[in-house]
């Protein structure tokens, strides 16, 4: 299920639209304008952002610009009234539409943006809201860059590229640190723990521990 996030001053008028999006297979919480951008992205981990633009256009404009600075996520502007002539000309929105909103039409637009995002590079590994850009060696969760050490990145890349495959700690030592490395299993455990703390949240689990054996990337992720 793709994760969306609607940001609105008053979520009540958008409740029906949100219900329609849920019926079309999207997870669609509604958040407030008053929340900090970093907190919104961290807590909800969305794949696409939908921002309501009401009569306070300048406030919505500022919010969208902040969202674009803080993440690489697609943004759709939802205009409660008429679309201003100058609005789309200098905002980096990926799509926009005005009310009355049609959930089916909006769902199709969202799916196109999701497909476009996935095709931006052939060198991506994507699992839910986690994206590994193999070309630029970047990792994002919910569109927000995650700072990893080189070993953490290499561990994540290996596991994510082989979903469901179990690697022993010795396998990981050999592949990531090299056969001449004489460190113990503890090295792997420490790096996995740090990696998990950076990419996983209360509802996101990517790396699983296989008791007495090692680790694997969750197959269903």
Q: What is the CATH number of the domain that holds 194?
A: 1.10.10.10
> Which residue bears the tokens 């000309």?
89
Low-confidence ranges of the chain (pLDDT < 50): 89-90, 121
175: DSSP letter: I
131 with 111, same domain: the answer is no
6 with 113, same domain: the answer is yes
**Which own/partner contact pairs does 168-176 have at CB distance under 8 Å and 24+ positions apart?**
168/213, 168/214, 169/214, 169/215, 171/214, 172/214, 172/215, 176/151
Which of the listed residues 93, 119, 145 is the one where a domain comes to its end? Answer: 119
> Rounded to an integer, what distance in angstroms lies between the CA atom of residue 30 and that of residue 28?
7
Per the CB < 8 A criterion, the answer to whether 59 and 32 are in contact is no
114 with 34, same domain: the answer is yes
Q: Count how many domains the chain has.
A: 2
Provide the residue range defining the domain that includes 71: 2-119
Can you tell me whether residue 137 is helix, strand or coil? coil
DSSP string computed for 132-183: EETTTTEEEETTEE----HHHHHHHHHHHTTTT--EEHHHHIIIII-TT---
146 with 87, same domain: the answer is no
- Specify the pLDDT at position 152: 95
- Specify the pLDDT at position 33: 84
- Specify the pLDDT at position 90: 46
176 with 115, same domain: the answer is no
> Which residue bears the tokens 């921002």?
51
Q: What are the Cα distances from residue 176, in Å, to 124, 150, 189?
A: 20, 10, 13
28 with 70, same domain: the answer is yes
Query: How do residues 205-215 score in pLDDT, each as one tens digit?
Result: 999 999 888 99
10 with 84, same domain: the answer is yes
72 with 164, same domain: the answer is no
Global pTM value: 0.56
> Which residue bears the tokens 């009310």?
99
92 with 182, same domain: the answer is no
Per the CB < 8 A criterion, the answer to whether 188 and 152 are in contact is no
Which of the listed residues 119, 149, 174 is the one where a domain comes to its end? Answer: 119
> Rounded to an integer, what distance in angstroms lies between the CA atom of residue 159 and that of residue 176?
11
147 with 106, same domain: the answer is no
Q: What CATH code is carried by the domain that includes residue 22?
A: 3.40.50.2300
Query: How do residues 172-199 score in pLDDT, each as one tens digit?
Result: 988 888 756 666 778 899 999 999 999 9
């Amino acid at each position: 299920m793709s994760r969306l996030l609607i940001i609105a001053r008053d979520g009540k008028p958008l409740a029906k639209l949100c219900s329609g999006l849920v019926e079309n297979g999207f997870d669609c919480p509604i958040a407030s304008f008053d929340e900090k951008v970093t907190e919104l992205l961290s807590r909800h981990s969305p794949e696409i952002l939908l921002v309501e633009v009401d009569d306070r256009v300048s406030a919505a404009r500022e919010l969208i610009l902040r969202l674009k600075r803080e993440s690489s996520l697609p943004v759709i502007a939802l205009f409660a009234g008429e679309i201003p002539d100058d609005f789309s000309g200098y905002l980096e929105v990926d799509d926009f539409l005005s009310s009355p909103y049609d959930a089916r039409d909006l769902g199709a637009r969202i799916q196109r943006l999701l497909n476009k995002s996935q095709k931006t590079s052939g060198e991506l590994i994507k699992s839910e809201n986690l994206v590994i850009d193999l070309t630029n060696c970047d990792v994002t969760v919910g569109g927000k860059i995650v700072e990893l050490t080189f070993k953490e990145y290499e561990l994540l890349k290996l596991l994510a590229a082989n979903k469901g495959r179990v690697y022993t700690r010795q396998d990981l030592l050999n592949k990531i640190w090299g056969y001449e490395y004489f460190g113990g299993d503890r090295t792997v455990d420490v790096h996995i723990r740090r990696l998990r703390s950076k990419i996983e949240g209360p509802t996101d689990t990517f790396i699983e521990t296989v008791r007495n054996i090692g680790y694997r990337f969750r197959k269903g992720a």
